[in-house]
């Protein structure tokens, strides 16, 4: 009888040991993947990147042909110079008329003084006043020609800025720090606006998405430290992790995670941030252990 009790106690000990070896959550690693697309049309002059390469933010990695844009810009600059010469002509006419007006105003004052002393006639006063009025009207008429010229110059400036923006968008600039996951285009290929060029993700810190039951919710909170384990050759490799997000509503367990019997169970998704030492990959399975 003692041997039977000893045997049952051993079974219970083994069962407890096995249950304690069960992780608190299972899931896969993921990262925020960004697809970089072309912002211009044309032939790719060069695209200097390879899958697995680590890129820094704001790094030039490629260029789309800008020949036609450059020629269009030069054409607009030439047109602007032609229009600017018209503006210069208007300014010259205005300057001449103003000099004439300046001389006429002197004559007007002199004749008015003479008229006050009865040394000039009323006709002479009317004639000089008429010349002043004519010159003022001529100056106004010339100035009205300046406004449409300025508007035309401003319109060309806007078109030049638009082409400058298109030229800048022809430069392929990597926006974020990360590792190139996939390359979709290459040098000398023809691309178009919105066509994917490559995919990149920052793998310095990975996110482990795991699923836990409702009973486990009271054991975790955002900012809590946990242990993350992945398969290794001899024993599981451990990493420190931090709970970054907990779902506010339940969902059905993903089919890729659990057995058929457990798929109907409602669970909560949890994201754990883990610093990557280079061993963690997107899609890699892992376990979460609550400390």
Residue 9: pLDDT band by 50, 70, 90 thresholds?
Answer: very low
For residues 146 and 175, membership in a common domain is answered with no
- CA separation (Å) from 246 to 65, 113, 118, 149, 223? 47, 95, 103, 63, 10
Q: Which residues are bridge partners to 171 per DSSP?
A: 63
Final residue of a structural domain among 201, 222, 250? 201
Q: Tens of pLDDT along 171-211? A: 999 999 999 999 999 999 999 999 999 999 999 999 999 99
Residue with tokens 């990959």: 281
Q: Which two tokens stand for residue 215?
A: 């009973």
Q: How far apart are CA 283 and CA 92, in angstroms?
A: 74
Question: Quick one: 270 and 153 in the same domain?
Answer: no
Same domain, 51 and 186: yes
Domain boundary among 153, 169, 185: 169
Q: Is residue 51, in this structure, part of any structural domain at all? A: yes
Residue 40 lies in a domain: no
* Cα–Cα distance measured from residue 103 to residue 233, given in angstroms and rounded to the nearest whole number: 102
Q: How many domains does the chain have?
A: 3
Q: Which residues are CB-neighbours of 97 under 8 A, at least 6 positions away? A: 135, 138, 139, 142
Same domain flag for 157 and 84:
yes
Q: Is residue 237 part of a domain?
A: yes
In a domain, 37, yes or no: no
**Most distant CA pair in the chain, distance:** 153
Which of 149, 169, 189 is at the close of a domain? Answer: 169
CATH code for the domain of 159: 1.10.287
- Whether 19 is covered by a domain: the verdict is no
pLDDT tier at 162 (50, 70, 90 boundaries)? very high
Q: What is the pTM of this model?
A: 0.71
Residue 285 lies in a domain: yes
- Do 53 and 197 sit in the same domain of this protein? yes
- 118 three-class SS: coil
Residue with tokens 């909170």: 221
Same domain, 107 and 236: no
Contact 150, 87 (CB under 8 A): yes
Same domain, 180 and 88: no
In a domain, 3, yes or no: no
Distance from C-alpha of 157 to C-alpha of 161, rounded to nearest angstrom: 6
Domain that holds residue 222: 204-290
Co-location of 110 and 230 in the same domain: no
Cα→Cα distances 230→30, 177, 236, 237, 252, Å: 14, 25, 6, 5, 24
* Domain match, 212 and 237 both: yes
Residue 18, classed as helix, strand or coil, is: helix
Shared-domain flag, residues 106 and 160: yes
Residues 55 and 175 in one domain: yes
The least confident of 88-92, 93-97, 238-242 is: 88-92
177: in domain: yes
Which of 78-87, 163-172, 233-242, 251-260 holds the top average pLDDT? 163-172
Q: Which residue in 45, 271, 255 sits closest to 170, CA to CA?
A: 45
Question: Are 140 and 179 members of one domain?
Answer: no
pLDDT at 45: 97
- What average pLDDT score do residues 36-56 get? 96
| CATH code assigned at 262 | 2.40.30.170
Q: Are 168 and 64 in contact (CB under 8 A)?
A: no
């Amino acid at each position: 009888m003692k041997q039977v009790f000893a045997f049952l106690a051993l079974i219970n000990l083994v069962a407890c040991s096995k249950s304690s070896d069960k992780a608190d959550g299972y899931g896969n690693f993921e990262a925020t993947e960004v697809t970089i697309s072309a912002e211009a049309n044309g032939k790719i002059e060069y695209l200097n990147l390879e899958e697995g390469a680590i890129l820094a933010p704001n790094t030039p990695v490629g260029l789309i042909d800008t020949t036609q844009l450059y020629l269009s810009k030069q054409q607009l600059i030439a047109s602007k110079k032609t229009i600017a010469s018209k503006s210069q002509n208007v300014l010259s006419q205005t300057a001449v008329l103003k000099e004439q007006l300046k001389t006429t105003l002197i004559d007007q004052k002199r004749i008015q003084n003479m008229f006050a002393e009865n040394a000039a006639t009323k006709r002479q006063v009317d004639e000089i006043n008429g010349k002043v009025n004519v010159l003022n009207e001529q100056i106004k008429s010339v100035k009205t020609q300046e406004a449409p010229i300025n508007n035309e110059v401003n319109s060309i400036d806007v078109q030049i800025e638009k082409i400058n923006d298109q030229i800048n968008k022809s430069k392929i600039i990597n926006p974020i720090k990360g590792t190139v996951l996939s390359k979709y285009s290459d040098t000398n290929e023809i691309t178009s606006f919105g066509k994917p060029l490559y995919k990149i993700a920052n793998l310095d810190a990975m996110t482990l998405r795991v699923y836990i039951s409702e009973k486990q919710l009271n054991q975790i909170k955002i900012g809590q430290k946990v242990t993350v384990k992945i398969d290794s050759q001899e024993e599981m490799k451990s990493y420190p992790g931090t709970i970054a997000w907990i779902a506010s509503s339940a969902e059905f367990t993903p089919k890729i995670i659990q057995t058929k019997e457990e798929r109907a169970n409602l669970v909560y998704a949890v994201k754990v941030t883990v610093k990557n030492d280079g061993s963690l990959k997107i899609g890699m399975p892992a376990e979460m252990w609550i400390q």
